[in-house]
Amino acid sequence: MNENTPVSPDTAAMGRRRFINTAALAGLAVGVTACNSKPDSAPAPAAAPAAPAAAHASGGASAHLKPGELDTYYGLWSGGHTGDMRVLGLPSGRELLRIPCFTPDALVGWGITNESKKIMGTKADGSLRYTVGDTHHTHASYKDGNYDGRYAWINDKINSRIARIRLDYFVCDKITQLPNVQGFHGIFPDKRDPVDPAINYTTRVFCGGEFSIPLPNAPTEDASKYQSLFSCVDAETMEVRWQAMIDGNCDLVATSFDGKLAATNQYNTEMGAKYEDMMSAERDACLFFNIARVEAAVKAGKFKTIGNSKVPVVDATRKANADPKTALSAYVSVPKNPHGVNASPDTKYFICAGKLSPTATVIELTKVLDWFDGKLEKIDDAIVAEVELGLGPLHTAFDGRGNAYTTLFLDSQVVKWNVAAAIKFHAGDKTAKYVVDRLDVHYQPGHINASQSETVAADGKYLAVGCKFSKDRFLPVGPLHAENEQLIDISGDKMVLMADHPVRGEPHDFIIFKRDLLRPKQVYALDDFPNAVKDPKESGVFRNGKKVTVKLTSLAPAFSMREFKVKKGDEVTLILTNLDKIEDLTHGFAIPNYNVNFIVNPLETASVTFMADQPGVFWCYCTHFCHALHLEMRTRMIVEA
């Protein structure tokens, strides 16, 4: 035990169990359950968190904005198994938008319109291929080491899909499914090209496959024969450029600022199929990829393909990459079932949190490159610090002043620590005090991020913490509790808790960036849509045998046709262009009994296709409040028998 650790009662126990074993883990799980069932026994906040008033007294920031005041930061949150992305304003924590990606959304008609279905993917009969999703990680495109406001990406763990969000309109515009991958977990865009200095922006997104499977998939029970793939997706085309076959699994992903390295933490180097096996080794790994070399190997044709997939797959397994001079990959040993790998904004280090080890491991990137150049004898010598932080370290954020903030899941704490001091301590200077501060959070934190954290513009202002259990922090609403996103002021030496933000389950990762990095558009251009009905005079019913196209426009408070007729048995494609070009003037279009409901934003065009299988009169009405005559904004669809 060193003087850096014994701050909370929980961490005092740490010396006795340097690593968490199966029994201890079971015990801790029971502890969590007990706390949940008896609110009284929830861990008493050891040091009472500073109230907002105290924050003001200390000159700290406030989460309260007066009516009409705008937030200064955007936050992009993954929605978890709601399958969407959430947009929050910070510091207020106000939720501004949900961007549907992988799952249907009734508000906007995602999964209803032909345009969204094309992005989501359909079966031969036109129905959606998937209606469930599970988003975990979201990151945005970079230029010169900072966000450039072009794109954000988000993963879907269930169906191994990656979605791209256009940040000019805050909409999902492309979804790609990774072949031969199950449990696609971490993503991270590169920050520049490793070879061409002119390309100082994101052109690739790296994706980690967490679950090992037989490749190609087959009913093979012997898990030692399973393998995982690390995938590279083209940022523009969204096609999978290449995949790398590895030993062990992938979890989260990080990229270096020079574009040369990407890494994934590995918790299952054991290749176990049961958790006891997955946690049997004392150390696992952080796996590095030499991106320029992988791409050269692909170019040189040194790859295979798997099953029906045409994606080139290079060999990044340990055996094939033992010689540093030709290696595509390097496995850095990290204790036990590590989680989270994060790039420090000074561009020097990746930090891997220990999860089942109370430590964080600091890996110096120039040393990893030295190993690839044959200048560092052992790859593990790239580790410049491995220091104890507390129990259950998961994710790390940065303030741009040399400090790291790591979530301690089991301790329900955030620990602030100084990276340079940790390196000194590791080098033998036991007087180096690397733990700067600890703050109790409520409760069991997972993801953490600071404003601008993983950019060269890290500004050390706000820290948000995604607490997995809210327990007693909000009014009870039945068995499913809101989650607690906490906001912390990190501008001073001490962390100051600013606010609890209840959020609908079950958000995971997020990023926070300055609002001036974005210039969102609020009105579409008519020409963005090839099928736009540009003039109300173009409206009408156009028949081609049993296929009927209905062209319609909206202009508050009316649709361009007061009624339209189709016949029972027709396949109807209805195209609606909203000719209102005023900000915020959105209309909806709903057809009773036909499962049609979608919106059109200013100058947007959307279409739906359905079978006219029920004769009668159907009042198509505007669902989105638009005008004093919103209720009167209707048209009749008459389906003739």
Which residues form the interface with ligand CUA (CB under 6 A)?
556, 587, 622, 624-627, 630, 633
Of 92 and 407, which has the nearer Cβ to ligand CUK? 407
Distance of closest approach, residue 493 Cβ to Ca ion, in angstroms: 36
Residue 337 as a binder of Ca ion (CB under 5 A): the answer is yes
Q: Among Ca ion, ligand CUA, ligand CUK, none, what binds residue 337 when CB lies within 5 to 8 Å by partner kind?
A: Ca ion
Within 10 angstroms of residue 457's Cβ, the number of other Cβ atoms is 16
**Minimum distance from CB of 566 to ligand CUK (Å)?**
47
Q: Which residues contact 451 (CB under 8 A, 6 or more apart)?
A: 73, 90, 458, 459, 460, 461, 462, 463, 512, 513, 514
Is residue 508 within the footprint of ligand CUK (CB under 6 A)? Answer: yes
Residue 273's binding partner among ligand CUK, Ca ion, ligand CUA, none (Cβ under 5 to 8 angstroms by kind) is none
Number of residues that bind ligand CUK (CB under 6 A): 11
- Least distance to ligand CUA from the beta carbon of 578, Å? 9
284 binds, among ligand CUA, Ca ion, ligand CUK, none (CB under 5 to 8 A by kind): Ca ion
User: Which of 393/602 has CB closer to Ca ion?
Assistant: 393
Q: How many residues bind Ca ion (CB under 5 A)?
A: 3
Paired strand residues for 110: 105
How would you write 211-236 as a 3-class SS string? ECECCCCCCCCCHHHCEEEEEEEECC
Closer by beta carbon to ligand CUK, 370 or else 506: 506
Position among 293, 339, 442, 624 found at the interface with ligand CUK (CB under 6 A): 339
The answer to whether 470 and 502 are in contact (CB under 8 A) is yes
Using CB under 6 A, which of 447, 461, 471, 551 touches ligand CUK? Answer: 447
| Partner that binds at residue 355, options Ca ion, ligand CUA, ligand CUK, none, CB closer than 5 to 8 Å by kind | none
Task: For ligand CUK, give the closer residue by CB, 136 or 139.
Answer: 136
Among residues 316 and 394, whose Cβ is nearest to ligand CUK? 394
**Cα–Cα distance for residue pair 142/480, rounded to 1 Å:** 37
- Which of 413/578 has CB closer to ligand CUA? 578
List the strands of the sheet with 138-143, edge to edge: 138-143, 146-156, 161-166, 171-177
Give the DSSP per-residue string, 303-366: -B--TT--S-EEE--TGGG-STTT-SEEEEEEESS-EEEEE-TTSSEEEEE-TTSSEEEEEEHH
User: Of 258, 284, 570, 580, which one interacts with Ca ion (CB under 5 A)?
Assistant: 284
- Smallest CA-to-CA distance from 291 within 214, 199, 355, 395 is with 199
Q: Which residue has the tokens 């920050």?
A: 191
CA 141, CA 123: separation in Å to the nearest integer?
Answer: 31
Nearer to ligand CUK, 182 or 597 (CB): 182
Closest CB to ligand CUA among residues 243, 577:
577
Q: Which of 409, 518, 501 is nearest to 463 (CA)?
A: 501
Binding mask 172-191 for ligand CUK (x = CB under 6 A): -------------x------
The distance from CA 291 to its chain's CA centroid, rounded to whole angstroms, is: 22
Pick out residues in 119-158 that bind ligand CUK (CB under 6 A). Answer: 136-137
Distance set, CA 461 to CA 62, 87, 332, 455 (Å): 11, 19, 32, 14
Using CA atoms, how far apart are residues 211 and 614, in angstroms rounded to an integer?
A: 46
Q: Which is nearer to ligand CUA, 403 or 623 (CB)?
A: 623
Distance of closest approach, residue 432 Cβ to ligand CUK, in angstroms: 28
Among 61, 181, 297, 394, binds ligand CUK (CB under 6 A): 394
Name the residue whose CB lies closest to ligand CUK: 136
Ramachandran region, residue 144 (left: φ > 0; alpha: ψ -120 to 50; beta: rest): left
509 binds ligand CUK (CB under 6 A): yes
243 or 337: CB nearest Ca ion: 337
Give me the residues that bind ligand CUK (CB under 6 A), please.
136-137, 185, 339-340, 394-395, 446-447, 508-509
